[in-house]
């Protein structure tokens, strides 16, 4: 677990497991993420998401898609895709960024004022 802070300075925890598999010439990483943040609708929830790295990775960012249903401003509500134009880390991608950087920034987004109080779909529902 990593200690990071939300935009209001309150600590939030980051806990994740990542498994990787090779499909054709693309790398797919599956992450299971949980958030520990007081007074946040995501507290104690576990989300599954996938990061797809194609042949242009790390020059270009991976595709990030939630498998678990989640309501966030940067996530497409029909597909679960994290929309690069709405997620700064993917918009301003640098070769040095890691999968952990993506997950850490997603955690910060979950705890951000625009996302922390959004009504969430029931746990155990998927895209």
Cut 0.85: pTM above it:
no
| Top-confidence range, 12-16, 20-24, 50-54 | 50-54
Q: Over the stretch 94-117, which tens digit does the pLDDT of each residue have?
A: 999 998 899 889 988 988 999 988
Cβ contacts of residue 10 below 8 Å, gap of 6+?
37, 38, 39, 111
CA angle in degrees (0–180, nearest 5) for 96-115-51: 35
Q: Over the stretch 26-55, which tens digit does the pLDDT of each residue have?
A: 666 666 666 555 667 887 788 888 888 888
Q: Can you list the domains of the chain with their CATH numbers? A: 2-111 (3.10.110.10)
């Amino acid at each position: 677990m990593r200690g990071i802070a939300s935009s209001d300075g309150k600590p939030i925890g980051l806990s994740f497991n990542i498994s990787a598999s090779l499909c054709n010439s693309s790398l797919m990483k599956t992450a299971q993420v949980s958030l520990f943040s007081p007074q946040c609708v995501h507290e104690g929830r576990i989300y599954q998401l996938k990061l797809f790295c194609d042949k242009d990775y790390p020059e270009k960012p991976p595709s990030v898609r939630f498998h678990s249903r989640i309501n966030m401003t940067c996530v497409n509500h029909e597909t679960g895709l994290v929309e690069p134009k709405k997620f700064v880390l993917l918009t301003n991608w640098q070769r040095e960024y890691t999968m952990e950087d993506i997950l850490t920034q997603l955690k910060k987004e979950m705890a951000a004022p625009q996302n922390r109080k959004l009504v969430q779909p029931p746990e155990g529902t998927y895209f």
